[in-house]
Structures are given as C-alpha cells and as structure tokens.
Chains A and B, each alone.
Chain A
Amino acid sequence: AQSVTQLDSHVSVSEGTPVLLRCNYSSSYSPSLFWYVQHPNKGLQLLLKYTSAATLVKGINGFEAEFKKSETSFHLTKPSAHMSDAAEYFCVVSEAGTALIFGKGTTLSVSS
C-alpha cells in the first residue's frame, strides 16, 4: 500500500534563509509524487510534481524537490524563504493514477 510520511509537523525559518520540508514515501510501484500548498481559507495549489522524468523537479515560486528512489524521499526545498511562503504544505503520492494520498502536512512559519 502506498503512504506518505512528512517528518516535521512544523518548520520555522527566518525570511531569506533556506527552507527544507522532508517527505518519505512508500509505494509498491513507480509512484507519482507531488507537493501541494494550502494557504489559510484557500484551496490547495500544486507546487510541483514528479512523474518519472527528471529526478530534480522545479516548481512555482522558487520551490524544487528531488526524487531519491534509494532513500524513498521527495524533500521540498527553497533557497530563500519569503513571508508569503508561510502556509501548510502537503506531500502527496499517487500510485494507481487516480486518487491522491496526502501526508499529514507541515506548517511552515516564516519570521522577519
């Protein structure tokens, strides 16, 4: 069965410093992996997706993630945090090509 584990429930960074949100997955097959962001009272927005092409995936707003099969990881990074990045981030796996399986989320706080 497929699953996702987000290793940190809360990450706090200062504006201008790097962001690292960690995600490990479990999948029997070649998975598709995604990162979504959810701002308060807003809908889920796709940041980036991995679907078995390049292992380093670039997304919107300067975010990127690297698929590492040997480590079953798909960590999300950004070189320099901005105040507007404060939100809830979800790592997501899809194996069957239909339903998405979400992690429990990581709350990113950015201080000035």
Chain B
Amino acid sequence: GAGVSQSPRYKVAKRGQDVALRCDPISGHVSLFWYQQALGQGPEFLTYFQNEAQLDKSGLPSDRFFAERPEGSVSTLKIQRTQQEDSAVYLCASSPDRGPGGYTFGSGTRLTVV
C-alpha cells in the first residue's frame, strides 16, 4: 500500500485481557519497528525486525509483550494480561533499508486498558 497501515485504530481492553495489534508495512520494506508512545511523551523503541528476523527486542517492557513478523511483511504486537500501564499509542514504522532515514510511520493504535 501507499503507507504503513495499523489496525485497529483504537482498542479498549479490560485489565488481564490479551490484545493483538497489527502492522502492515509498505510493500518491500525490509525493516519494521514498533514504538510505544505514552500520553505526553515521545515514542519509545520496543523492537526491530529485519525481514522476518527480530534483531532487537531490548525495548520490550516485560515478557508479556511479544512481537512477530513470520513472513517478513505483516507484523503483530501481542500483549498478554494487559495492565493499566500498557495504555499508550503503539506506533509501527517501516523502512526500505537498515538505516533510520527512510522511516515511514503508521497512524498508530491507541490502546486503553480499563
């Protein structure tokens, strides 16, 4: 597609529920990144894929967070047993190469845990 597509746009989850957030990168983009943006803060890095390989997951805040990109295209960020502190906008970005200069961000998924 023309841009990075994320779904759902909004998600409300009850505390303890599992959620799955989807990212459709720009076709052919090698690199894919997930960021978490809490209210009033800048985005913070979660994890990075190059094709299907997850090369960096140092930003995932706990083992309740899991990301995958099995065919090197669509990626899913899964959060198990959601907590209120997980409430944030989750941003996906893709890039045609390894460098950061070609990032295109999606509009994000706003997760609210109640």
Question: What is the bound-complex CA distance between A100 and B93, given in angstroms?
Answer: 11
A98 touches B43 (CB 8 A): no
B31 touches A102 (CB 8 A): no
A98 touches B56 (CB 8 A): yes
B56 touches A44 (CB 8 A): no
The 0/1 profile, CB within 8 Å of B marked 1, for residues 44-56 of chain A is 1110010100000
Least distance between A94 CB and chain B CB atoms (Å): 4
* A contact residues vs B (CB 8 Å cutoff): 32, 34, 41-46, 49, 51, 90, 94, 97-105
A43 touches B105 (CB 8 A): yes
Q: Which residue of A lies closest to B106 (CB)?
A: A43
| Contacts across chains A and B counted by CB atoms under 8 Å | 60
- Residues of A near B55 (CB, < 8 A) are 98
Pairs A–B under 8 Å by Cβ, sample size 28:
A32-B101, A41-B107, A43-B3, A43-B106, A43-B107, A44-B43, A44-B93, A45-B105, A49-B101, A90-B42, A90-B43, A94-B100, A97-B98, A97-B99, A98-B56, A98-B99, A99-B33, A99-B45, A99-B48, A99-B56, A99-B100, A100-B35, A100-B43, A100-B45, A100-B100, A100-B103, A101-B45, A102-B44
Interface residue B91 (Cβ < 8 Å from any Cβ of A) = yes
Question: What is the bound-complex CA distance between A101 and B35, given in angstroms?
Answer: 10
- Residues of A near B4 (CB, < 8 A) are 43
Interface residue B62 (Cβ < 8 Å from any Cβ of A) = no
